Amino acid sequence: MISIKNVNKSFGAHHVLTDVSLEVPKSNVVALIGPSGAGKSTLIRTINALEPIDNGEIIVDGISIHDKKTDINKARLNIGFVFQSFNLFPFLTALENVTISPMKVKGLSKEAAEKRGKELLASLGLADKCDAYPSRLSGGQQQRVAIARALAMDPHVMLFDEPTSALDPEMVTEVLDAIRKLAKDGMTMVVVTHEMGFAKEICDEIVFMADGKIVERAAPDKFFTNPDTQRAQDFLSKVLNH
């Protein structure tokens, strides 16, 4: 479903991604973990071309994302993206946040978009928040609206860049529950996360990055009990013991 082949990327002289390759089969959930500055955000942002690449290839759903001939706006319809800082549209209500793109991009009627939007918000426990502006919502609620907004485009793939890092601890669960549900429904996902318990529970594979490289890939059980590389061991001992 997602195929990343030999991707390189630099910011000026700073080589941020070095020869990164990764396959994510349909309905798999991959956790991308690693120390700060490893290049996790940069990598996940290249998957929907929010970040350009220097060379290599990324194919999502059969479409070569960074090919100049690709209509990136069409390609992005298959790819939902959830940001650490939500990035909801502050001047629109929760429902309008969810319906604007289906209406303006897919040309859905207002009625159809709202019907779908309300269903999505309700399925995420936000039935009573349709008319609320983002500033009136808690962080957890805002992030669930952002998830509904992405899902409203009917993506085949969902990308999450630290979806719970900006949240107060008591709100982390509600967002993780939403992602868990998506996993159950068979959504293909890449999740950058520091929630190790969550990664272990729902992910099919852990991808550990450091210094712009994929250092280790393993099944969660293996990775968290007996990682192969020293880098992963050091990282785990730091995050699990603090």
Partner 1 sequence: MYMYDWSVITRNMDVFIYGALKTLEISAISILLAIPIGIIFGMGRISKNKFFRLISSIYVEIIRGVPLLVLLIWIFFVLGQFLKLGSYWGSIWGLAIFAGAFIAEIVRSGIQGVPKGQMEAARSLGMSHAKAMTHIVLPQAFRRVLPPLASQFIMLIKDSSLISIIGATELTLDAKNLVATSFRSIEVWTFVAVVYFIMTFSLSLIIRYFETRLSKSEA
Given the rule CB under 8 A, which residues bind partner 1?
48, 50, 73-74, 76-77, 79-81, 83, 85, 87-91, 100-101, 104-106, 133, 135, 146, 149-150, 153
Burial of 191 (0-12, 13-18, 19+ CB in 10 A): buried
Helix (H) or strand (E) holding 14: strand 14-24
Q: Quick check: 40 binds ligand ATP (CB under 6 A)?
A: yes
160 C-beta neighbours (distance < 10 Å), count: 27
116 C-beta neighbours (distance < 10 Å), count: 18
Q: How far apart are CB 112 and Mg ion at their closest, in Å?
A: 36
Size of the residue set binding Mg ion (CB under 5 A): 1
Which string of DSSP letters, residue by residue, matches 49-116? TSS--SEEEEEETTEETT-TTS-HHHHGGGEEEE-TT----TTS-HHHHHHHHHHHTS---HHHHHHH
Size of the residue set binding ligand ATP (CB under 6 A): 11
Point out which span in 30-38, 113-121, 179-187, 199-207 binds ligand ATP (CB under 6 A): 30-38
Of 6 and 165, CB closest to partner 1? 165
For tokens 């890449």, the residue is 190
N-term to C-term CA, the chain:
36
One residue of 42, 101, 143, 164 binding ligand ATP per CB under 6 A: 42
Of 41 and 143, CB closest to ligand ATP? 41
Q: What, of partner 1, Mg ion, ligand ATP, none, does residue 38 touch, CB below 5 to 8 Å by kind?
A: ligand ATP
Residues that bind ligand ATP (CB under 6 A): 11, 14, 16, 34, 36-42
Query: Which positions lie near Mg ion, rule CB under 5 A?
Result: 41
